Structure formats: C-alpha cells, structure tokens
Amino acid sequence: MLKITYQHYLKYQEFQKQKELQYCMVAEKPEEYIYDRNNEHDKVIREILMKKEEALSLINKALKPKQKIKEPIDLYSNRFITSKYQDRESDIIYKIKDKNIFFLIEHQSTIDYSIAYRMMEYSIEIMRTIVNNKERKSKAYKYPLIIPIIIYTGESKWDAKLSMKKLKEQIEWYEEKEEISLVDINKYSKKELLQEDNILSKVMLLEKSKNTVEFIKNVEEILKTSDNKNLEKIKDIVKYKAEGIVEKDKLEPILNKVKIKKEEGTMTLAERIHENERKERLEIRLKAIEEGKKEGILQGKQEGKREGEIKGKIQGRLETINLTIKRMLGLKLEDKIIQEVTGVEKKELEKIKKELAGAKS
C-alpha cells in the first residue's frame, strides 16, 4: 500500500506552484486564464480603489466636473457580472448613496480593443439586476445611470476606441444620435399624409381616424388621391382596417364608385367616345324591353339601324380628329396645345407621331 505523508503533500503543492509559474510565462495563454489570474499590480490598484476617498479622487480626475463630486458613495456588489468575467478582481463599482447612479471602474494594464463593448456589457448587466420590471412601465420611471471609467497603467500609448459609436459600421447618409429615430403620426397633418406618394402614409391616416364617420371620409379621400398602381393594394388594406368599424355593405359602394371613376379618368379619347356610345346603345335596349316584345323587335330593328349610324359617326369622328392632329403636327405646334384643342391623350398622340414618321420614311 502506498502511503502519502504530509511532507509529500507539501512537495506536491510546491510542484503545482512551479508549474503554474511556468505556464504564466508562456506567450500565448488562454483568455480565460488571463482573466482568472490577476497579477500583484492589479491587486494593488484594487486595494487602493477600495478606499472611498481614493475612488472619489479618481472619479473627479476622469470626469472633470465643474464642481468636484462630494456626494457620498458606497461600494457596490459585483456578483452580477457575466460568467466570463465574474472572478475578475480589477472591477470596482461604486454607487452614489440613495441614487441609482453607478461608477464602473476598470483597471487595464494592457490595451483592450474591445473595451468599449465590454464596458457596455457590464453596464447592461448592472441595469438588468436593478431595473424594476413593474415600475419601468411608468412614464416617470428613471433607469440607472452607469458611468464607465478606465484607469490604464500600461507602458504603450492607449489607442483603443472608447466609444461604441466609433466601433460600429458607418454609412454616409446616417449620423448616429443618442435618441431613437421616431415617426409620430400625430405630428403629420391630414393634408401632408394625403400628399405623400406611398401606401404607408395612407395607412397612417386611417390610424388617425377617431370614429366611423371620420374613417369613411378618410377612405374616400385616400382613394381619390391614390394612383392606379397602388389603388388595389390600398383597397385591400382599407377592407382589412374597416373590420369592426364599417359594415361591408356600406364600404363596398365607396370602393366600387372610386374604381369606376379611376378607370374613366385614364381612358383615351377614342375609348371615351366608344364608352359613351355603348351606354347609349344600352339605354335603347332597356327601353325596348320595357315597351314589350313586339315593340321590342321593332325597336331592335331601329336600334340596329341606329347602331350602324353610331358606328359610322364614331369612325367619322376619329378620322376627323386624327386628320386635325396630323395637320397640327405638320404646323409643328406644341404637344400641349394639340392635347388641349383635340382632347387627345399623350399616349395616343405619340402613336400618331410614329405613324407619320413611318409614312415619311
């Protein structure tokens, strides 16, 4: 049986100490090992900063306030620090008495280029343990103020960034600011939202509706000012937003009315002529049905004759208008004048121009 005496144990302890000392001299040491083994210099700094007057002197030196800070401070527990750094003895935290204001003091003997991010992590951890989840929903609630301070005692000149703003990616059109960017619909007038050429502004206006009457009025104005490319999408959104506010049978007539108006507004000159004549023919048919079968047949014959006349009229009108447009183009009149005189749409005018150009070539 192997016997282990107390002397053997002491020799083993000495051997372990020598082994650890050799390990510390290795150039590349694991990060965890560095954080868990604070050298004597770190301990000296820590012991000094454990004295309130020394810590207060450092705080005044770092912050350079207009008047020296004289408020009473107390050491604060650092057990909340994340597991990666929980055993670091160089972290000192002071709290102003009766206030949620903290001084987070970190001693660095070497340059750490992630220090800004690491101090931010510390600050978040402090907040997480202090913030009252019930009270924070109150408008009057004040979050803790964490003031980070670094004391550097290394030989090389410190060149690590001390602000997260400087460590983040940058883009030329955005300058980071302290406040969160806010778009508040209450700051936009109804006129401004209607003028905006996007769907979101229209939705924002619907959100501003205070009652059913105002909602319907806003829907009418939104559809009236929306262009065709967004019209169907906006109508779908209106239907969705109207649930529980406006009955379907009251909403549908508004949507259908706007659709007809939009389609008429985009018709070319020829299309408008055809549409008017189509309505005229429809009225004749309805009248024939009302007057009875016999009379309807007779009226149908008359209508056929009438339709032939109408067709001839339409063709004649179009030919006359086209001829007038071609003559005006020959006189090199401006497009705007031609459109005002003949009522021709820009698209139709361009088509006639191409026909003339083809005939010349």
> What angle, 0 to 180 degrees and rounded to 10, lies between the N-to-C axes of helices 335-342 and 346-360?
120
The answer to whether 187 touches 181, Cβ cutoff 8 Å, is: no
Q: Which of 107, 101, 128, 106 is nearest to 119 (CA)?
A: 106
Q: Is 150 helix (H, G, I), strand (E, B) or coil?
A: strand
Distance CA 37, CA 32 (A): 9
**Which residue ranges make up each domain of the chain?**
38-162, 185-263, 269-360
The whole-number pLDDT of residue 96 equals 93
250-257: long-range contacts, CB 8 A cutoff, minimum separation 24: 250/216, 251/216, 251/219, 254/216, 254/219, 254/220, 254/223, 255/223
Sequence-distant (≥ 6) Cβ neighbours of residue 153 within 8 angstroms: 41, 45, 107, 108, 109
- For residues 110 and 92, give the distance between their C-alpha atoms in angstroms, rounded to a whole number: 17
**Residue 297: both structure tokens together:** 């047949």
- At 89 the pLDDT is 42
User: What CA–CA distance (Å, rounded) separates 81 from 169?
Assistant: 27
Does this model's pTM top 0.95? My answer is no
Sign of CA dihedral 284, 286, 291, 296: positive
User: What is the pLDDT, as a whole number, of residue 147?
Assistant: 92
276 vs 259, 264, 270, 282, 305, CA distance in Å? 18, 11, 10, 10, 18
Q: How far is CA 277 from the centre of its chain?
A: 51
**What pLDDT score does 321 carry?**
76
Q: Which two tokens stand for residue 84?
A: 């990666």
Q: Are 135 and 87 in contact (CB under 8 A)?
A: no
Helix ranges (DSSP H) in the chain: 6-24, 31-36, 40-49, 52-63, 115-130, 164-167, 190-195, 199-208, 212-225, 228-242, 248-265, 269-290, 293-330, 335-342, 346-360
CA dist 117 to 123, 261, 264, Å?
10, 59, 61
Count the neighbouring beta carbons within 10 Å of the beta carbon of residue 20: 11
Closest to 100 in 3D by CA, of 68, 136, 67: 136
Low-confidence ranges of the chain (pLDDT < 50): 1-3, 6, 22-38, 83, 87-90, 260-265
- 71: closest CA among 98, 47, 91? 98
pLDDT at 102: 93
**Per-residue model confidence (pLDDT) at position 310:** 65
- Supply φ then ψ for residue 53, to 5 degrees: -65, -35
Residue type, 165: K
